[in-house]
Structure 1
């Protein structure tokens, strides 16, 4: 990194922090601190909802996912627009009518305190873990590539977020997320057009899509019914729908964003905006990853994008074996470049040569075989090494091929996304702890200022917990892949509780509580058996909770009649 990159990175992050503190300091009551006095316009609600979901992992992992596996990951979001409609016309009116601070307040009115507490605790567990991951995931990747100290990076990201979230609460989260989304989209568009500029001179965007298509990177929709296939149309439209319904409808990190809207209509418009823009945004980010793949058809590509793995092998007896595979890849890359250039020439003459397409597929297969061999060597050199390098693809491209200044901007994009999702997580954790646990159980007579101070204290406490978890993250494996899995394990049960509350009026407190407890235990067991893709856990958890609570209610009703 050059001096200009440091200036761009530092100025961007510091502006976001100080702007958030300056615009939102001085909250005197809980409504102002947690709900932003219900003054948030619809477009800020929409941007805030998008920024909350768009963590650093989105901008690090998604392009790498597309580089390796193509555009199919976009199916993960196919159920989201429908979920936005359901939440807008079912969840939002109920939350606003009851004037709740958190989603879980509704559950006490509909059922009882223990059901509210159960849902709150399930949320605190999974969101507490998830918030630590939003810090740790970008920190471990950036520290590996830039040589920065991992612990210091965890602390820096966490402290920057704590400063403005502590000072301004929900308003601070909302106003800073406007700036963060601007930085994020500016950086991503700049990168996309720069990639196109770096491709060979006689190559059009259409040519690039043809090369990607020849390598099966443009296979967007998969109608497979195999439950073990992770991303399909069916898992996206069902499991993705229930995940989005759970996340946006019952997760306080998202509910808090639209509860601050000026009115029911403003909140609804913000969510519908997210429904319209989220799938195209993810499509665009995946397309950037596909264009990075096309770029590396003409430029040298590392055998493994994680630089730590290269260091591990160099300090092992397997160095010569690894270098031999690298030499094979280097020769293959030259062959790949020549065939791609010939293929482009044919495309410019309006001829999509089927023989060359087959050759490109064959070369891609050989390259994948070499990468598999390299992973085996890395695993022999260090059995604990993370050989999956998807999360390092995009940052490798940023650091090695972007011009000065733009590198700093893209790093600011990654850290802004980390701060955005972390801020929403901390704000939600603090609000839920203060309102659903502390305020509900503390004695009467406390002032509004007391509860503002309590929420600020819980913001600080959860911030420290998240930083500590991020700092011990190296004790666990594959954390970066766990974010959606962790959510899917818990979200289905919580969603089931809300669905029963909204739609199945004859089910009462005792039945829903025990139905949810049993459902959550069964989801743990199903995940342990590893018999379905994690996306299906959202659907299964919700369905189990609904069905078990109905069965138990009928059973309890019969017992009451007999008695």
Structure 2
């Protein structure tokens, strides 16, 4: 079942080819230029460095995992006995098959390559249409290799824990923790390698955040400050203001992360209803029961019901 995910690499390649030969030339013909291209070029270079770190981290996990398991033959033999090696399935009743991963993956990646603001800004930063096509195809190949390495790591992790599931044994709280748990168990005695994996994780996150912050800052300046507020700025002022927008967004995210770590999780009855309950939720208690059930869409949740309070208590607490 794990091996089905290699279909995503194929779908990414198809989407990149269609985008490169159909959409990129059209974008280049528009000849849009932007004061933000310099900042985006810096982001592209940081993405290259972060991609190198990601590959190093993945290869470190794969190599040490194969050494621990005794080679790739034993690894694949264990995964095959567990029914994890399956290359094709057209069963529409199964969630992950060729239908969802190849066809659905194509449309998912196609939306990113062809219509995502951060991607299009990258195409426009390159000097020629041919260079933009080459960069897109290189990205598709690199992403495909990254997906294949991730699939291989999934096979290694399954083979390692085939006889003892740490999630079932309550050694981890969430199933998503199994890879970090595997890394600390296998690489903990190798100095520096757990840190390399941590750098790999952060590089994967920051490579997305960096371009997203740049795009979000550009939207704030162009659509809100210049569009809604009607302000006029020179290119030099725009570049300076875009840093303010990026810093503001980064600060909000950073403060939210810090607060989430400093505060403990609260029970529903411990939270002040005025902070979490919209006015509509409170006022809906005055409607007939049949109307309220339609609004809930058939979903019943005990914690959600605890959060709802009478209208009088909401305004007088």
State TM-score, norm by structure 2: 0.72
Distance 2:90 2:53 in 1: 36
Q: Secondary structure at the match of 2:198?
A: helix
Q: 1:440-483 CA deviation, whole Å, 9 max, x = no partner? A: 4454752211111221122122223333555559989xxxxxxx
In the alignment, does 2:82 pair up with 1:212?
no
**Residue of structure 2 equivalent to 1:269:** 134
Q: Distance in 1 between matches of 2:171 and 2:56?
A: 28
- CA-to-aligned-CA distance 1:150-186 (integer Å, 9 cap, x gap): xxxxxxxxxxxxxxxx9x7313311111111111101
1:302 aligned partner:
166
Q: Is residue 74 of structure 1 aligned with residue 6 of structure 2?
A: yes
CA contact (8 A) 1:430 1:456 kept: yes
| Counterpart for residue 149 of structure 2 | 284
Is the CA contact 1:76–1:235 (under 8 Å) kept in the aligned structure 2? no
Higher relative contact order (CA 8 A, sep 6+): 1
Instruction: Output the CA distance in 2 between the equivalents of 1:98 and 1:475.
Output: 50
8 Å contact kept, 1:426–1:462: yes
Partner Cα distance (2:40, 2:208) in 1? 13
Q: Contact conserved, 1:173 with 1:424, CA < 8 A, in 2? A: yes
Does structure 2 conserve the Cα–Cα contact (< 8 Å) formed by 1:93 and 1:264? yes
**1:184 aligns to what?**
54
2:176 alignment counterpart: 391
Cα 1:290–1:250 shift into 2, 3 Å: same
After superposition, give the CA deviation of every residue in 1:39-60 in whole Å (9 maximum; x if it has no partner).
xxxxxxxxxxxxxxxxxxxxxx
Q: Aligned to 1:235, which of 96, 100, 107?
A: 100
Return the offset for 1:268. 0.7
Does the 8 Å CA contact 2:2/2:86 hold for their aligned counterparts? yes
Conserved? CA contact 2:53–2:199, under 8 Å = yes
Q: For 1:305 and 1:454, how far apart are their aligned partners in 2?
A: 52
Q: Output aligned runs, 1:438-453, within 5 Å.
A: 438-441=225-228, 443=230, 445-453=232-240
Deviates most, 442-451 or 237-246: 442-451
Q: How does 1:72-471 map to 2 (within 5 A)?
A: 72-100=4-32, 169-200=39-70, 204-226=71-93, 229-297=94-162, 301-304=165-168, 309=173, 389-402=174-187, 403-441=190-228, 443=230, 445-468=232-255, 470=257
User: Do the aligned partners of residues 85 and 447 (structure 1) sit closer, same or farther apart at CA in structure 2, a change above 3 Å counting?
Assistant: same
Deviations 1:488-524 (A, max 9, x none): xxxxxxxxxxxxxxxxxxxxxxxxxxxxxxxxxxxxx
Structure 2 match to 1:347: none
Distance of 1:305 and 1:173 partners within structure 2: 43
Aligned partner of 2:310 in structure 1 is none
The whole-number CA distance in structure 2 between the counterparts of 1:475 and 1:438 is 37
Displacement of 1:242: 1.6
The verdict on how the C-alpha distance between 1:230 and 1:439 changes in structure 2, with shifts beyond 3 A counting, is farther
- The alignment of Structure 1 onto Structure 2 pairs a total of residues equal to 262
Counterpart CA distance in 1 for 2:162 and 2:5 is 22
Deviations 1:23-48 (A, max 9, x none): xxxxxxxxxxxxxxxxxxxxxxxxxx
| 1:397/1:272 CA distance change after superposition, 3 Å | same
CA RMSD, Structure 1 to Structure 2 (Å): 3.0
Q: For the Cα contact (< 8 Å) 1:83–1:242, is it kept in 2? A: yes
Q: Unaligned regions of 5+ residues in structure 2, if any?
A: 267-296, 300-317
Cα deviation code 1:225-284 (max 9, x no counterpart): 23xx43221223332222112112111122222222121111111111223332332122
- Identify, as 1 or 2, the structure richer in helix: 1
In structure 2, distance between residues paired with 1:303 and 1:417: 25
* Helix, strand or coil at the partner of 1:79: helix
Name stretches of at least 5 consecutive residues in structure 1 with no aligned partner. 1-68, 103-165, 310-388, 477-527, 531-563
Mapped contact 1:212–1:290 kept (Cα < 8 A): yes
